[in-house]
Structure 1
Amino acid sequence: MRPPRTPGTPDTDLIVVGGGPAGCAAARMAASVGMRSVLVEPEALCRTLHRIPALDNVLGGHTSGPGLAGTIAAELRSTELCRLALGRYATEVRAHDDRVTVTLYTGLRLTAPHTVVATGTGPRRPRDVPWITAPVGPALPALWQADATEAEGRTLLVLGGDRPLGTFLRAHPATGTRLLAAYPEADDYKTEEIRHDPRVVLLPVRHLTLHPPAARLLDRSGGHRTVTADAVFLNLGNTPAAPPGDLVRDASGHCPPAAQHPRVLVAGDLRSACFQRVMTAFGSGTEAALRAYYSARDLPDENTP
């Protein structure tokens, strides 16, 4: 039996901020080595997986995001050493010499020897990118929100070449929807998987001026043209969603793990734009929890001098 908690005793062994694949993997691994954790998540566990109708790069036989999310949530809810704090979000993460303090929006402060921050990313809007000029008005929906049945036989203007383009097409292989994908040079490599799909018209641009449902394009050669669609959807990628406090950010807003305080471990999409995949999220969350375990017991890991 653990001794009773005193004012100087941490609330738990590990605080996990973020309940996506990386955060859930961290909490599950922590429990497997006997560490207690508190997982803080403002919405549902693995909520972003529900936006991925088709999966083709995860182990375990899951082919849809909602199916995988359900499996992860059920397993974590049965993990006795993990306490779920759902419907709550962190407003600050502070690292000290002997512990980390995570402050919740209610003002409650949680303490632990280490924290894993896996808050992922949030969607970019037209105002966040320099290559789009758009009127102020109602927020445009993201491509993952497009209803395939309603979109059947229609033409959709998609702003940005991010990977949900491929996800939409894989999830609906027989759809008659036509996608006009306008994207900047930085997205060129992202469009490779759908470049030869006859349902997609690629529109590489320097700039786009939006007047829904039409857009005025300045193409890479300096020419202008206007395109019209039945609806407009966003596909601009994501921006890091790190909580305020002592996290160290790079120029893009991501939080490189090696730059953080030793008691703050970063996992999942928050680390870098280069490794934003479900499988890499699982691995990074698991690794972060093990690093906390080794550190708490003064055990060396492979990167310890």
Structure 2
Amino acid sequence: MAQATDAARTVILTVDDDPGVSRAIARDLRRRYGGRYRIVRAESGDSALEALRELKLRGDLVAVILADYRMPQMNGIEFLEQALGVYPGARRVLLTAYADTNAAIDAINVVDLDHYLLKPWDPPEEKLYPVVDDLLTAWRSSDYRPVPATKVVGHRWSARSSSVREFLARNQVPYRWYSSDEPEGRRLLDAAGADSHRLPLVITPDGTALVEPEPSELAGHVGLATTPAADFYDLVVIGGGPAGLGAAVYGASEGLRTVLVERSATGGQAGQSSRIENYLGFPDGVSGAQLTERARRQATRFGAEILTAREVTGLEVNGAARVVRFSDGSEVAAHSVILATGVSYRQLLAPGCEDLTGRGVYYGSSLTEASSCEDQDVYIVGGANSAGQAAVFLARGAKSVTLLVRGESLAASMSYYLIQQIEEAPNITVRPRTVVESAHGEEHLERLTLRDAVTGATEDVDAQWMFVFIGAAPLTDWLGGAVLRDEHGFILAGPDLTPDGRPPAEWDLDRPPYHLETSVPGVFVAGDARAQSAKRVASAVGEGAMAVMLVHRYLEQS
């Protein structure tokens, strides 16, 4: 009876100044949720805030708030910012037109936005209900408690500040950003007794002040798990990209005691993607962050442990155990290991780029910087899908986006659907046969020298923003000689272990290695770190699942 009473007092609130739209979304919400939740609608930000305050006084709970962005007097972001003070635990959705997606991205930092929903949302079964279902699940798992935000004080052109913001954003940790040049930022620095020359300053929800924190220190203070709960597991998954998350989901769901170890943030390169449009089951596309968060929640729901900011430095065989060593000297062991370490973007070796990294030069999408690119000229280096996705995303708000491509065209390395979108975007320019000769700037990036790869002619262009996507280097150096790798560092497995497809000389079992098994029995590889892999999200997830199937086969025969 108490559970039914609680549900009756739980509200989903929607606000839209267009009466027709307001009635339509309230109708769709009542159709699916009316039996379990009370649907409250308002037609202005002021009336919605008044309703929230009344609900608060009565002790009612608010699970989800959906607000239209374009409202007079008080837009959706302004309303959600005030609503945050009344019901900080409510999940927040911004209803927006396609042209306003930049505003929705900005709202992620301003009001800890959980989702933005494009209008129209027909059919609701595909576009509205799955979003609200996920948000209600997340809200229920939070025990309805407010989640105080972490505060970050830093300088606009500080590389350390940029990396901390990226770490928090990619790990779905709510935070508020304060510039050290602004009054509130200076007030927080004074309160913490911090030096403005040592940034960033991070203030955790419990009031702890961290100066220039390392990822491992930061992770431990913002609620991310960093220490394994046990010493021995059935399966250790190293790497939290699509392959690693796929392995964790399937391993845990099939009863294996599973721990996933990630050195920075789950999602890998795919998690930084602004929009993935060719992943099965998402006809309208999905951001890498959304896909990653769903996969992470799915893995933990099945019982997988996820450790963040733990750097793996070694892999050893100790009898039947596979021992994984960490940079702090600790270790964890398991019956089996899946290597899903993925790849990283290669560094641009042009003079000036290293010094300006994090200060105008960024590797990957760096979505935390995207809102600052509005009405700016942006340069993107690279011609594969990641570069194309970033170009299309940034073009929505940037004055211009220039793709610098070493090859003759995009056709050799980019999916056709992205090439079409780039050709249709009026503010995207593709410059083939062009490389970055050097980068210039004092406090931040100010200018690029570009070189024609054919004629050798150079040209200087003004630039404050450059995002680099130039190929992939496998994150496998830490393995040393533990498993066989090819000349580029990619891990060999199954029939690729030797040129003739036979087991390598050091293989000591009667059977041949399984398809994804490395030169060490019980150690498997999945995703981009594997030699000859497809370098696609869908194939990485599939390999993660396949590796778990092979782990079962290995364990049954051990």
TM-score range, shorter chain: 0.7 to 0.9
| Unpaired stretches in structure 2, ≥5 consecutive residues | 1-230, 441-445, 498-517
Q: What is the deviation of 1:173?
A: 6.1
Residues 1:65 and 2:301 are matched in the alignment: no
Change (3 A) 1:235 1:227: farther
Q: What SS does the aligned partner of 1:55 have? A: coil
Residues 1:196 and 2:431 are matched in the alignment: no
Residues 1:226 and 2:459 are matched in the alignment: yes
The residue type paired with residue 86 of structure 1 is T
2:311/2:327 contact within 8 Å kept: yes
Q: 1:270 aligns with which of 525, 529, 553?
A: 529
1:30/1:293 contact within 8 Å kept: no
Larger CA deviation: 269-278 vs 106-115: 269-278
- Deviation string 1:82-129 (CA, Å, 9 cap, x unpaired) is 2333332211012456332111223222222220011112232113xx
2:253/2:302 contact within 8 Å kept: no
Change (3 A) 1:295 1:211: closer
Q: What is the deviation of 1:50?
A: 4.0
Q: What is the deviation of 1:187?
A: 8.1
Aligned equivalents of 2:246 and 2:453: distance in 1? 43
Structure 1 stretches (4+) deviating beyond 6 angstroms? Answer: none
What is the match of residue 375 of structure 2?
153
Change (3 A) 1:45 1:209: closer
Aligned equivalents of 2:315 and 2:553: distance in 1? 21
Aligned equivalents of 1:143 and 1:29: distance in 2? 28
Matches within 5 A, 1:179-258: 179-185=401-407, 188=410, 189-191=412-414, 193-194=418-419, 196-197=423-424, 198-205=426-433, 208-212=436-440, 213-231=446-464, 232-242=466-476, 243-245=478-480, 246-258=482-494
The residue type paired with residue 91 of structure 1 is T
Residues 1:27 and 2:260 are matched in the alignment: no
1:157/1:182 contact within 8 Å kept: yes
TM-score by length of 2: 0.46
1:95/1:264 contact within 8 Å kept: no
Q: What is the deviation of 1:60?
A: 3.8
Q: 1:78 aligns with which of 272, 294, 301?
A: 301
Change (3 A) 1:216 1:138: closer
Aligned equivalents of 1:125 and 1:249: distance in 2? 21
1:157/1:229 contact within 8 Å kept: no
Identity %: 23
Matches within 5 A, 1:55-204: 55-61=276-282, 63-80=286-303, 82-95=304-317, 98-127=320-349, 132-134=350-352, 136-139=354-357, 140-145=361-366, 147-171=369-393, 174-185=396-407, 188=410, 189-191=412-414, 193-194=418-419, 196-197=423-424, 198-204=426-432
| Higher-RCO chain (CA-CA 8 Å, sequence separation at least 6) | 1
Q: What is the deviation of 1:226?
A: 0.2
TM-score by length of 1: 0.81
Q: What is the deviation of 1:17?
A: 0.9
Aligned equivalents of 1:207 and 1:45: distance in 2? 31
The residue type paired with residue 77 of structure 1 is T
Larger CA deviation: 231-240 vs 164-173: 164-173
Aligned equivalents of 2:356 and 2:557: distance in 1? 53
The residue type paired with residue 452 of structure 2 is D
The residue type paired with residue 17 of structure 1 is I
What is the match of residue 544 of structure 2?
285
* Number of residue equivalences: 285
Change (3 A) 1:283 1:187: farther
